[in-house]
Amino acid sequence: MRNTHRIRIVILTLILACTLAAGSLFPAPLQAFGVSSAAASGETDSAAYAESLVDGIRNYLLTTSGCSDLQQFIDTELCLQAGRNAEWYVFALSRSGKYDFSKYRDALSLYLNQADTVPGPVTLQKYAYVTLAAGGGLSLTDRTLAQTVGAQGIMSYVFGLHLWNNGARDGTVSAESVVRSLLSLQLEDGGWAISGRYGDPDVTSMTVQALACYLIADPAGSEASGLAETVRGAEDRAVTFLSGRQSDDGGYSSYGSANSESCAQVLTALSELGIDACTDERFRKNGRTVLDALASYRCDDGSFRHIAKGDSNENATQQAFYACVAYLRFLRGQSPLHLPSADAPSENPTPSVSPTETPLTPTAAPTGTPLTPTTKPADDPTITAAPSPSATKAPAASSPTDASAPSDGTGFRFPATIAVLAIAAIGILVLTLRKRLNRRNLLIALFITAAAIALIHVVRIQTPEDYYAQQVVPEDEADGKITLAIRCDTVAGASESLPADGLLLGPVTIPFRDGDTVYDALMAATATERLPVDIGGAGNSLYIRAIGPLREFDYGSLSGWMYYRNGEAPGESCSTCRLRNGDVIEWRYTRDMGIDTESP
């Protein structure tokens, strides 16, 4: 019986060792067992659900600032951040309560007067628009309208139309001309984008928001000109586009990366159109809604993340704030978020949770990893499966006698495993000879052996030369070549670590194999120059956090890296965009969500 018991222990321990080793070699299948999700819509009141998210954000603002109420927060924290990272908090607060923003307006005016550089056209429009929302006059707005509409691509039309919808007039810009310009930019798939042939959920949603409010702000004029019906047709196509781009978890991806801001923009757009995002079947995927997906990005302190496993992000929090406010205004029959309102609450709303209490946590929010869109245009290249970025192709295996072949860092695993098993066997033999092999010692020995084997299969040992050599495809094995450059013109010379000419790398020629992606080319180019790259996300939602000294959010909440192929932003993750012979790839650092990188 005693020997039988020992045999059972040995068998169970070996199973444990195999499981640990398999988990290190094949982590994805094991992680899949941990994915769980639940939809909130249909199980709880959607208004209360959205209100809990708003309360959580209010509580977050008070807790992190130490302010006693939101008016104090406006007069202190937002004034200090005027012109830098306060504007969409001001906008959300102005649409959800009645506050005095006079100190903020003075602070923003002072910031603009003291600024070393003149803000770009779209940034000026945002300042003017938020000034209107904060109760300011039209002097800055009228001047901005004349100077900026159409000066910086599609977003300068979107915000120009917002200004017009809110009363701005300058005598030279008509709403009809702006609307027709936006309609002319609608793509074949029904969406809009900053550049490229395929719609982007964020840009589509922001365009829809402006067009929807135009139909309310100028009903007589639009009907008389016959433009209203055209706008409604364009909006219908956009709604179909947005429904098709919704992921299985109810969320959205922009440029291949699932993120909270995309969810916020879609929720706002649907609310402006009078569509209930939580009940309309076009926007319920597997019982999940965009509000569910948005809530899945919520942090414990009430703020929001940009991506599922990221840290708290101010831009994500601000957009989630006004998106939930937009949805609540729709449910309550109030005017749309982007139009002047006289029906805001007459008293200053206070958080239903005090700063010292635990922030509200929405019930049954999705916890699974955001998925990629399941429906794409038939000719959209993103429907073509691409290899995982982690499976970047290495040169074909060389002969074992080839001393120059780079190591993949795993060649030591087999001999190391044999060595560990041999040591374990010797140890058990010694214990047996000394008559000290009892149940406790055997269990300890087997556990140590299993842990050592698992560690061996996790660790990769490579020299820097081996690692970098693996990223580069030898020219004689390549199926084509592309040209790649990495630019940071928008922040050129801003610090000693940034080149004055805005060129971080290249242009360089990169050989590639069929099936390689823009991600593969980036890794090959940066490996050659030993330029560090920080990666976020995974699989089809991979994106680039940092290249060299430049990281996302270094220059504001809308800053980060974007790539362009042959002058266009493809609108998909770099890990799924397949290379074609002769492609010209440029990575560009943006300070304003790509608006400032259209011309390098």
- Most confidently modeled of 48-57, 119-128, 355-364? 48-57
Q: b vs e for 507-527, b when ≥16 Cβ sit within 10 Å of the residue's Cβ?
A: eeebbbeeebbbbbbbbbbbb
Question: What's the confidence (pLDDT) of residue 464?
Answer: 47
| Per-residue pLDDT tens digits for 59-116 | 999 999 999 999 999 999 999 999 888 899 999 999 999 999 999 999 999 998 887 7
Residue 127 has pLDDT above 60, yes or no: yes
Region 139-167 average pLDDT:
83
Any idea which residue has 């801001």 for tokens? 261
DSSP string, 180-247: HHHHHT--TTS---SSSSS--HHHHHHHHHHHHHHHHHSHHHHHHTTHHHHHHHHHHHHHHHHHHT-B
Q: Which of the two residues, 1 and 589, has the higher pLDDT score?
A: 589
Residues 446 and 503 in one domain: no
Q: pLDDT grade, residue 19 (50/70/90)?
A: very low
Q: Tell me the whole-structure pTM to 2 decimals.
A: 0.67
Q: Are 375 and 240 in contact (CB under 8 A)?
A: no
Question: Sign of dihedral through CA atoms 545, 547, 552, 558?
Answer: negative
Structural domain includes residue 548:
yes
Asked if residue 568 and residue 447 are part of one domain, the reply reads no
- Domain stop point among 425, 459, 493: 459
Check whether residue 560 and residue 522 sit in a common domain: yes
- 């406006």: which residue's tokens? 74
Tokens standing for residue 470: 């693996």
Residues whose CB falls within 8 Å of the CB of residue 75, separated by 6 or more in sequence, listed in order? 100, 103, 104
Among 95-99, 481-485, 491-495, 509-513, which stretch is predicted with the lowest mean pLDDT?
A: 491-495
Amino acid identity at 95: R
Place 413 in a pLDDT band, splitting at 50, 70 and 90. Answer: confident
pLDDT tens string 350-402 = 443 333 333 333 333 333 333 333 333 333 433 333 333 333 333 333 333 34
The band of 11, judged by pLDDT with boundaries at 50, 70 and 90, is: very low
Looking at residue 220, its pLDDT comes to 66
pLDDT tens digits for range 430-475: 888 888 888 888 888 888 988 888 877 766 554 444 444 445 778 8
Beta bridge partner(s), residue 550: 547
Q: Mean pLDDT score of the chain, rounded to an integer?
A: 78
Instruction: Return the residue matching tokens 């245009």.
Output: 377
pLDDT band at 182, cuts 50/70/90? very high
Question: What would the mean pLDDT of 209-236 be, rounded to a whole number?
Answer: 85
Question: Does residue 420 sit within a domain?
Answer: yes
Burial call 382-392: b when 16+ CB within 10 Å, e when fewer? beeebbbbeeb
C-alpha span between 383 and 572 (Å, rounded): 10
Same domain, yes or no, for 512 and 575? yes
CA atoms of 490 and 117, how far apart (whole Å) = 13
pLDDT confidence band for 38 (50 / 70 / 90): very low
Domain harbouring 547, CATH code: 2.170.130.30
* Structure tokens, 441: 């010692």
Range of the domain at 418: 411-459
Which pLDDT belongs to residue 43?
39
Q: Residue 36: pLDDT above 70?
A: no
Where does the pLDDT of residue 13 fall: very low under 50, low under 70, confident under 90, or very high at 90 and above? low
Residue 543 phi, psi (nearest 5): -145, 170
Count up the domains in the chain and report the number.
2
Q: Return the number of other C-beta atoms located less than 10 Å from residue 411's C-beta.
A: 13
Q: Region of 515 please: left (phi>0), alpha (psi -120 to 50) or beta.
A: left
Within a domain: 300: no
In this predicted structure, the answer to whether residue 9 has a pLDDT above a threshold of 80 is: no
Per residue in 311-351, pLDDT tens?
Answer: 899 999 999 999 999 999 999 999 999 997 644 433 344 44
Are 474 and 451 members of one domain? no
- Buried b / exposed e along 463-501 (16+ C-beta atoms within 10 A): eeeeebbbbbbeeeebebbbbbbbbbbbbeeeeeebeee
Mean pLDDT of all residues in 262-278: 97
- Do residues 467 and 392 touch, judged by C-beta distance below 8 A? no
199, 253 contact by CB (below 8 A): no
3-class secondary structure for 496-509? CCCCCCCEEEEEEE
Nearest to 344 by CA among 24, 514, 94, 25: 94
Phi-psi region of 535 (alpha: psi -120 to 50; beta: other; left: phi over 0): beta
Instruction: Mark whether 470 and 543 lie in a shared domain.
Output: yes
pLDDT at 383: 32
Same domain, 449 and 569: no
* Residue 493, C-beta contacts closer than 8 angstroms, at least 6 positions apart: 499, 500
Average pLDDT of span 486-492: 91
Q: CA–CA distance from 371 to each of 26, 325, 374, 384, 594 (Å)? A: 20, 26, 8, 16, 24
Residue 142 lies in a domain: no
pLDDT at 453: 83
**Inside any domain, residue 422:** yes
Evaluate the omega torsion of the peptide bond into residue 351 and state whether it is cis, within 30 degrees of 0.
Answer: no
Number of H helices, E strands in the chain: 21, 9
- Evaluate if residue 414 carries a pLDDT over 80: no
Which of the residue ranges 114-128, 251-265, 506-520 would you say has the lowest mean pLDDT?
114-128
Residue of higher predicted confidence among 388 and 267:
267
Domain boundary among 396, 426, 459: 459
Indicate the range of 8-17, 349-358, 418-427 predicted with least confidence. Answer: 349-358
Backbone angles phi, psi at 362, to 5 degrees: -55, 140
- Do both 452 and 526 map to the same domain? no
Whether residues 469 and 586 fall in one domain: yes
In this structure, the answer to whether residues 485 and 582 fall within a common structural domain is yes
Position 328 in a domain: no
Residue 254: what pLDDT? 85
- Identify whether 522 is part of a domain: yes
Q: Is residue 509 part of a domain?
A: yes
User: Is-contact 145 173, C-beta < 8 A?
Assistant: yes
Distance CA 180, CA 165 (A): 15
Go through the chain and tell me how many residues it has.
Answer: 600
- Read off φ and ψ for residue 385, nearest 5 degrees: -65, 140
* Shared-domain flag, residues 455 and 472: no
447 and 522 in a single domain? The answer is no
C-alpha separations of 494 from 83, 219, 490, 555, 592 in Å: 19, 47, 9, 10, 16
